[in-house]
Structure 1
């Protein structure tokens, strides 16, 4: 036997549209429920009709058994001559199939067929009436066929049982009456079923519009794609409903939350309990978006955008996206560095092209000694400074960064001098190394880019020490310094004397110094320009010492 693979079954189901599937499912359910309910109600209705006919037969039998002429006829020689006309008259008036009167031996005194008078009554169901005087309804098969009968005893003047009256309706006639009575019910059931199918079509069409005409497998795929996108982006995302309860929190957002906020699942909890400083509730109240707002999440400063979710003019929730301010500043600084580096490479390419042409000319003039001296001049000063750094800076990464800055500054014609008294014998931790590279690198770059008067040779002086509980860096330059009007705002983001799209490095330096137990200050340099002093706590950036 060939088995159908699950995938092919799913594919065949997908080929049937969701609207068609919903119509089939809902319509089948409605028809099935109506069929079950209709069958039950029809059966109950038939039982009620049969019961009513039985009670009707019983009432007619009681009426016949109390007719005085009929009771008196039992004492005459030929009871049938009196009882037969009375019974037939009652049968015609009531519409019963038969009205049979018999004596205690069940001998008939009346019958619809006269030739059966004097014969014994058929059915063997007279005993309760003749023996115990009971009036009841029975179902039995008589000489005319299966029927429902009302049996009542006939009492004489002294209360003795002298006979029995049996009034009946044939079962075939009853079934026909039931069938005729159920015709409106069946018509109503068909109409209701058609109405249910129409309702199924309307519901399916409306639901299809609500889900934007998508199929279930398409909705499932889009939901999976949405989850994958939310978890893959670097920005934190928090969504709340109209009541201010969190409905969505991606992985990036969880990285910003402190451990106590993650002790319980944040989804489903009020946003105020998870993020006390969140302003999403304000967005829910006034419906106004908030862009590029700064707030603290734990110990991290983030830049947040908040927008309401409007559905048909009603605010159904709000979404906040945020990212670390330091990451944004670092990204901006990196972009500026790349642009600056590209400009410098173009300048250096032109300068080295001239030097290469000079060296080529000396070699063609057969002057190799002068060519070698020219090459040596380019490396002697930088090599001496790198050797000094290797002896005074214990951390290799920080030493490498300083060496790179010196080489790069030299290529730009800037003299970077490291003070002889400088010393940094401590080893940095991974996080501390990253912070120090950013702090020192930005300060040296700012000193190299300081504006100078025409004809002034650019100079930068670097001093560092690890004496005491702090690491201290002093970066001096011989530029024009920072104007007094900008001295207080020099460390704010976007404030710079170097043009637009600048003013990021010093803001990042101050933030990193403060986060690592220190501060950064601006003073007047002995060289005539600015002097930046960066102080960082050792315990925040140094690696733990290990003793074997």
Structure 2
């Protein structure tokens, strides 16, 4: 895939990121948080303040009414007021008393009336002797009840406390009405609720200030990113995690899986719909060693293990935040792929060396032929040409007649040339036979098995006691569905103490890096194809390796 010439958003510094088109969900995160928290807090405070202040106003109004009723009862119980009703002019006695009580209590009026609601006292002296206004005297005069009412009189709407006046015989002879005007009640209530509204306003201001601080803090915590930028980064991270070729597995400090990508699922053989997040790592991958990494906090690199049916190379690192281990991450890569890649590179290097050797060999022969022709020795030059042609033709004829697979024939022809350049006599047993062509995967397996065994045999023969007459013999045949390959040499053989370890990956008697892979690969390929590779002593005096593989040949096409 051709990479984009534009950098991704996550690659740019915070200050250089392009600003996207402003939509409602792309507004400044700081502004959104401040407005959201501020308006939410303001709404809650206003609602609560409205309820509490309304309730407080009702309480003030009720208390004013109770106060008016208490004053009325006090006036109604005054002996001088009751005695005044027996005189010829009750107003002369009652008016001064009522006015004094009104001034002392702060009431708007204290009105005393007889049983017919005729006033004996009133703040306006001209209205004495007139009927009381409001129409709410029946409860006191007829039923003898004391109560609080809200009514409109000659002085305006007021909260009024009314109570009957009783004589010594228990008869209702009049009533007292004490009133506080509604505007006075409202002003008192407003005075009491003003402090509440002031506190609400102050809390709203503090709430917006706190919302601003919170938005600033959150902005710093998320590294100055906007929510849509975080969402995009999360999607990019998820796409990267799922597309990389390595398996990734992460756990938290409790050892529970918090992240797993598709490649890790493939290694473990777990289907995509199986839930792994939140599962204990000990139950899913018992040999992950992530719990040990959590405990010790030490990094582990290039460790070999089996993940499901896959041999993998794993790296394990702890997640550390401010000195505390918060989790651990393990990355896996297939060891088979590493081995196959190493083998492919080694084979490519061998092919290059073989081509170089062939070019050198034929160059020498061409120089020889050219010299013979220049000396006029044409017959000897023709003899040399026929000799080389006959030898090559014999090899080609033998391989074409005994090996049905052309790819394997080409591999054997190249190995013959390479062995000759190395000074090793490579013989192919005349009874060798491969009667069926191989499948594409069978060709790869046979090239790996035959190539590695012949290379090891040539090396052993050249470095053994018979290096001057190094010799390697190859025999192969197909028996039904199985293929048998036998390679022996006249080298020093394999020491008994190394007989079992020689097929172990990484073990080698050769010096240098990247050794110990060939025989391990042969052993693994044989096991994967239902066979095995064995070691025994060769008739030539060195080692003899016998490899048996199954189901490499393609089935013949059915007759029509």
Could you tell me the TM-score, scaled by structure 1's length?
A: 0.86
Q: More deviation in 422-431 or 317-326? A: 422-431
1:74 aligns with 2:121: no
Which residue, out of 199, 202, 208, partners 2:213?
Answer: 202
The 1-side partners of 2:393 and 2:256 are apart by 62
Q: 2:97 matched to which residue of 1?
A: 86
Corresponding residue SS for 1:33: helix
Q: 1:31 matched to which residue of 2?
A: 42
Contact 1:96 1:167 in 2 (8 A): yes
- Cα deviation for residue 493 of structure 1 reads 2.8
Q: More deviation in 347-356 or 415-424? A: 347-356
Gaps of 5+ in 1: 1-7
The 2-side partners of 1:277 and 1:352 are apart by 56
1:316 aligns with 2:329: no
Could you tell me the TM-score, scaled by structure 2's length?
A: 0.84
- Using a 3 Å threshold, how does the CA distance of structure 1 residues 126 and 88 change in structure 2: closer, same or farther? same
1:530 aligns with 2:540: no
Which residue, out of 455, 461, 484, partners 2:473?
Answer: 461
Q: More deviation in 377-386 or 31-40? A: 377-386
The 2-side partners of 1:356 and 1:403 are apart by 21
Q: More deviation in 502-511 or 356-365? A: 356-365
Q: Which structure 2 residues correspond to residues 298-309 of structure 1 after superposition, within 5 A?
A: 298-309=308-319
Corresponding residue SS for 2:462: coil
CA RMSD of aligned residues (A): 3.4
Q: 1:211 matched to which residue of 2?
A: 222
Contact 2:454 2:487 in 1 (8 A): yes
Q: 1:278 matched to which residue of 2?
A: 288
Corresponding residue SS for 1:223: helix
- Cα deviation for residue 210 of structure 1 reads 2.0
Which residue, out of 157, 162, 171, partners 1:151?
Answer: 162
The 2-side partners of 1:164 and 1:533 are apart by 130
Q: More deviation in 18-27 or 472-481? A: 472-481
Corresponding residue SS for 1:533: strand
Q: Which structure 2 residues correspond to residues 260-299 of structure 1 after superposition, within 5 A?
A: 264-299=274-309
1:492 aligns with 2:492: no
- Kindly provide the CA deviation profile for residues 142-166 of structure 1, in whole angstroms up to 9, marking residues without a partner as x: 2111211112222222222222222
Corresponding residue SS for 2:341: helix
Q: More deviation in 27-36 or 348-357? A: 348-357
Which residue, out of 324, 329, 334, partners 2:344?
Answer: 334
Q: 1:50 matched to which residue of 2?
A: 61
Gaps of 5+ in 2: 1-18
Contact 1:326 1:508 in 2 (8 A): no
| Count of residue correspondences | 538
1:120 aligns with 2:111: no
Q: More deviation in 232-241 or 346-355? A: 346-355
Q: 1:3 matched to which residue of 2?
A: none
Q: 1:135 matched to which residue of 2?
A: 146
Q: Which structure 2 residues correspond to residues 351-500 of structure 1 after superposition, within 5 A?
A: 351-352=361-362, 381-382=391-392, 384-394=394-404, 398=408, 401-402=411-412, 405-406=415-416, 415-425=425-435, 434-450=444-460, 452=462, 456=468, 459-467=471-479, 470-482=482-494, 486-496=498-508, 497-500=510-513
Q: 1:105 matched to which residue of 2?
A: 116
Corresponding residue SS for 1:490: helix
The 2-side partners of 1:467 and 1:535 are apart by 10
- Using a 3 Å threshold, how does the CA distance of structure 1 residues 348 and 12 change in structure 2: closer, same or farther? farther
- Using a 3 Å threshold, how does the CA distance of structure 1 residues 420 and 355 change in structure 2: closer, same or farther? closer
- Cα deviation for residue 252 of structure 1 reads 0.7
